[in-house]
Amino acid sequence: MDSHGRSGSGIFFLIINLIFAAYFINYALNFYPIPAAIDPYNKWIIFAGGILIIFGAINHFRLKSMSRYRYQ
């Protein structure tokens, strides 16, 4: 268990964010062709990635404000 009381959920969230980030970069720059089977789900993938970005930003600012008072 880490210092925030979570056991592995931070690593899982990081891996999911990296997967969506790689998809967004590939979607914009077309490094690797996206299979046609994924095309119907493209809107949902972008929606889920946007939600993860919002959660990440909220978590970043929440942890930043908490750590400001921790080491005084």
Q: Which pLDDT tens digit goes with each residue over 5-58?
A: 555 677 887 888 888 888 988 888 888 888 889 889 989 988 998 898 888 888
CA dist 17 and 8 (Å) reads 14
Q: Where are the domains of the chain?
A: 9-67
Q: Exposed, middle or buried: residue 46 (CB in 10 Å: 0-12, 13-18, 19+)?
A: middle
Tokens read off for 54 = 């919002």
Check residue 68 and give its pLDDT.
58
Integer angstrom CA distances of residue 35 from 16, 18, 41: 20, 19, 11
